[in-house]
């Protein structure tokens, strides 16, 4: 049985924008409270779809946070509207009438804003768990620092398990503080982690290495079995 601790916690209020590191998360079966509760929608391929960094890399220059609901203060059933910070430092509330125009001008496409408290992760009703040993092993193999933000986890843990051991954890359970997580399947990565979260520069070698060495997998998807609050430093046990 592997054991360890929660190293860091993250929520991403607006899908594909930068997010925030927090000291605690309230979770339920939908995922982390407020995580990806908002999205930016554009038209591409003749359809209206949620925009991601793949269509608009400049989204990485924008960040979103819930400054009025730090850590466990955020109620998953009633998260406040996030604040969105533009690359030039201007701050907008999600309901600011100027925000769609500012996004349109920066992303060079018309956009709409969406909010859905059912949450909008790529895999419905899920959290993403990443493991420090795997991040460090990839960093060592590639000889370059790897910012965890590339992978957009919710829960980042340190465990006494080998790097990439999570590839074999499907169907097991992870106890995180008082929470019980059902481990679903390893997360197959797209090209988004190849973009530097600060410079937006592409680094295709990262995805090529993951493809060659780990079938393009990094991290593992999970689902909370009941509502709970998890905190940085909480004990973690793999069952």
What residues pair up with 48 in beta bridges, in sequence order?
43
**What is the pLDDT at residue 46?**
77
Task: Quote the CA–CA distance of 128 and 176 in Å, as a whole number.
Answer: 13
Digit-coded pLDDT (tens) for 221-238 = 999 999 999 999 999 999
Specify the pTM. Answer: 0.96
Per the CB < 8 A criterion, the answer to whether 234 and 176 are in contact is yes
Any idea what DSSP says for residue 5? E
User: How would residue 71 be classed by pLDDT, with cut points 50, 70 and 90?
Assistant: confident
pLDDT, tens digit, 9 for 90 and up, residues 149-168: 999 999 999 999 999 999 99
Query: For the chain, how big is the Rg over CA atoms in Å?
Result: 17
CB 157 within 8 A of CB 177: no
Token pair for 6: 């929660």
């Amino acid at each position: 049985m592997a054991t360890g601790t929660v190293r860091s916690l993250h929520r991403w209020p607006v899908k594909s924008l930068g997010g925030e590191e927090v000291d605690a998360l309230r979770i339920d079966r939908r995922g982390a409270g407020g995580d990806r509760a908002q999205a930016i929608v554009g038209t591409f391929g003749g359809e209206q779809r949620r925009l991601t960094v793949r269509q608009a890399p400049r989204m990485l220059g924008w960040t979103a946070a819930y400054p009025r609901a730090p850590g466990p203060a955020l109620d998953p059933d009633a998260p406040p509207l996030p604040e969105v910070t533009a690359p030039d430092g201007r701050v907008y509330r999600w309901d600011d009438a100027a925000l769609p125009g500012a996004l349109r001008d920066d992303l060079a496409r018309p956009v709409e804003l969406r909010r859905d408290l059912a949450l909008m992760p790529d895999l419905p009703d899920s959290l993403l768990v990443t493991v420090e040993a795997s991040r460090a092993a990839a960093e060592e193999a590639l000889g370059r620092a790897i910012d965890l933000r590339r992978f957009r986890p919710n829960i980042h843990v340190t465990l006494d398990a080998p790097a990439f051991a999570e590839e074999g954890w499907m169907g097991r359970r992870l106890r995180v503080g008082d929470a019980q997580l059902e481990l679903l399947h390893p997360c197959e990565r797209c090209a988004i982690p190849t973009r530097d979260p600060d410079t937006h520069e592409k680094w295709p070698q990262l995805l090529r290495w993951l493809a060659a060495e780990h079938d393009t997998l990094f991290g593992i998807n999970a689902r909370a079995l009941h509502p709970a609050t998890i905190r940085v430093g909480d004990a973690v046990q793999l069952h």
